[in-house]
Structure 1
Amino acid sequence: MRPPIETELLKTFVTIVETQSFTRTGDRLHRTQPAISMQIRRLEEALGKEVFDRTKRQVQLTREGELLLHYARRILSLSDEAMSRIGQADLSGIVRIGTSDDYANILLPEILRRFAEAQAGVQIDVVCDNGVAIERRLKDGLIDLALVASRGAVAEEELIRTEELVWIAATPSQAKSRPLSLAVFPDGCVCRATMAEALDAAGRDWRIGFSSDNIGAIHAAVRSGMGVSAVERSLAPAGVRILGQAEGLPPLAPVHLCLKLNRASTSPVLDALADEIRIGLAPAPLRYEPQAHHHA
């Protein structure tokens, strides 16, 4: 088994790619050009492969170099993140989070547990309400950050991930009921509005059969057959069926999971907790599949 590659070698490799020059890399890393060349030789010896095509006058990667670049950037990013997080001073104070009941019960508990273990001096206050009310609280300065679902265009810095919405019911036969009975959060919920718009666009009659601001109660109502509902696919509970167009229900527009910060907040904990939430809820990275090379 080959020994692990030193991060210092990976940093030199990535810097060469970014600067397109061994000399400029030496200037940036405060090393001589021969020292930079020696590091790349060590890297190639560790890999057993060449990472630069030396038949070209300009800096050009080999196929193995292109693959390494993908992983090197990820490794260096994780290394920087770990050093930043672990080296962070102990924090104290209060941080106030606003979110929906389902996110507070399903998405946040493990994230907040890890953060509380690392920062025992922090008090975390969680306020649950619908998205409209939470964003109003954020605007009024009553909370420090908001984890909400949004539709339409969102700011890139606020987007964590995009979620597919799916219909859920106790049995497929419920999709055929006229009017369609819905189990939903009170008005102001993005999922409720998305369901209503999709059904109206499809010319489908519907009614509110059950409403609650508690996600456990809504799930129980769906399981009992009181109504159908819509949730992010990743949050679909046990004991329900996922339905769709095959059962006669219209497709639902996706929603965006967003983290919005109150930049006027004086909480010393704001950025640290925001980073923890982004990391905990970030979509899984796509698996890198190198292109197949066909030879004549």
Structure 2
Amino acid sequence: MRNLDIATLRSLQAVAEYGTVTRAADALNMTQSALSMQMKRLETQFQRPVLEKQGRGVVLSVFAQELLTESRKLVAQNDAILARFAGQQPSGRLRLGLTTDWMFVHVPKAVRHFREANPNIEVVISDGRTSVLRQLFRQGDLDLILTTEFDCPSGAQHLLKADLAWFGAVGGDAWTKRPLPLANSPSCAYFPKGLTALEAAGIKWEHVPGIGDCEANQVLTAADLGVNIYPRALPQPGLEVIDHGGSLPPLPATWLNIYITDGPAKAAAAEFAGFLRRAVCEVTAVAA
């Protein structure tokens, strides 16, 4: 009877997430040659190719992708048994900081898959504005942050490009009024970009009375009391992208960025980033 090696299956998962044997081996704290030998043993065991070259990196073969799906279940079950019967405590903690805009779009799938692959790592999630998340990250209070920015600062990794758009109430006409009633909070990263665009177009604006947090501003917009700025790819309940026919100025694109710690949780944070990239690719493909 042939048995599958859990450590080898973990290595297969790492290669899938990191895209290269070198980076996967580094994340697992093993040598590249040792990980390559594990992949060779899988190929020998199944008499099927596991890795295929693509550019400077490698990708899983069609067979390996099918194996990966089943192997995740086996690894997760292995870890669950150990946690239950060996009384194992969490082996680590991953502290995530997520920008509020994208909290419920790509993140849940990534968290779920990460927890399935790493049941002994405790995941702690915080949400907030990009400026706050970056400050907490600099202080060492977060291991990975997902931010919305208009460039790629040092230490950041681009994840997704998103176009901004003017949003209003479904069937509303607040966007036709002048001065234009704005429902974005001054602390919102999109607010100064919107003002720059409006001023360049010579359009006067004013703040909607009652501006508060993100949820309150969304309610004001849904009530057709003002307009708001959101990434076009993020549908908002009660709102729609305004079909203004050029009456409102174009807005710049924004970027979804990832920052990964150099601290003790670096390997776990990098692995989670891999799950997040895959979730983004899947959601984007469906939307297209």
What TM-score does the superposition give when structure 2 sets the normalisation length?
A: 0.63
Which one has a bigger Cα radius of gyration?
Answer: 1
Amino acid at match of 2:179: P
| Equivalent residue number for residue 32 of structure 2 | none
1:93–1:268 contact (8 Å) kept in structure 2: no
Please report the RMSD computed on the Cα atoms of aligned residues, expressed in angstroms.
Answer: 3.7
| Equivalent residue number for residue 258 of structure 2 | 259
CA distance in structure 2 between the partners assigned to 1:121 and 1:147 by the alignment: 23
Matches within 5 A, 1:1-296: 76=61, 79=64, 83=68, 86=72, 92-153=91-152, 158-170=157-169, 171-187=171-187, 189-209=188-208, 210-214=210-214, 216-246=215-245, 248-266=247-265, 269-282=268-281, 284=284
Q: Using the TM superposition, give the Cα deviation of residue 180 of structure 1 relative to its aligned residue in structure 2, in angstroms.
A: 1.5
Unaligned runs of 5+ in 1: 1-68, 287-296
Sequence identity of aligned pairs in percent?
21
1:98–1:134 contact (8 Å) kept in structure 2: yes
CA distance in structure 2 between the partners assigned to 1:277 and 1:101 by the alignment: 15
1:130–1:186 contact (8 Å) kept in structure 2: no
CA distance in structure 2 between the partners assigned to 1:140 and 1:280 by the alignment: 28
Q: Using the TM superposition, give the Cα deviation of residue 106 of structure 1 relative to its aligned residue in structure 2, in angstroms.
A: 3.3
> What's the CA shift string for 1:157-208, capped at 9, x where partnerless?
7011100111110145211222222222451x32223212211221222223
Amino acid at match of 1:130: R
CA distance in structure 2 between the partners assigned to 1:154 and 1:191 by the alignment: 17
Amino acid at match of 1:249: L
CA distance in structure 2 between the partners assigned to 1:140 and 1:271 by the alignment: 19
CA distance in structure 1 between the partners assigned to 2:203 and 2:128 by the alignment: 28
Alpha-carbon distance change, 276 to 212 in structure 1, aligned in 2, over 3 angstroms: farther
2:179–2:206 contact (8 Å) kept in structure 1: yes
1:168–1:236 contact (8 Å) kept in structure 2: no
Alpha-carbon distance change, 257 to 117 in structure 1, aligned in 2, over 3 angstroms: same
2:92–2:122 contact (8 Å) kept in structure 1: yes
CA distance in structure 1 between the partners assigned to 2:216 and 2:63 by the alignment: 40
Residue 96 of structure 1 aligns to a residue in which SS? strand
2:148–2:254 contact (8 Å) kept in structure 1: yes
Amino acid at match of 1:181: P
> What's the CA shift string for 1:14-46, capped at 9, x where partnerless?
xxxxxxxxxxxxxxxxxxxxxxxxxxxxxxxxx
> What's the CA shift string for 1:118-162, capped at 9, x where partnerless?
332222222222111111111121111110111035569701110
Q: Using the TM superposition, give the Cα deviation of residue 257 of structure 1 relative to its aligned residue in structure 2, in angstroms.
A: 0.8
Alpha-carbon distance change, 82 to 136 in structure 1, aligned in 2, over 3 angstroms: farther
> What's the CA shift string for 1:54-111, capped at 9, x where partnerless?
xxxxxxxxxxxxxxx89xx765399479759846995832111112222223332232
Q: Using the TM superposition, give the Cα deviation of residue 240 of structure 1 relative to its aligned residue in structure 2, in angstroms.
A: 2.0
Amino acid at match of 1:76: S
CA distance in structure 2 between the partners assigned to 1:269 and 1:258 by the alignment: 17
CA distance in structure 2 between the partners assigned to 1:277 and 1:186 by the alignment: 29
Q: Using the TM superposition, give the Cα deviation of residue 258 of structure 1 relative to its aligned residue in structure 2, in angstroms.
A: 0.8
Residue 168 of structure 1 aligns to a residue in which SS? strand
Unaligned runs of 5+ in 2: 1-53, 80-89
CA distance in structure 2 between the partners assigned to 1:201 and 1:183 by the alignment: 19
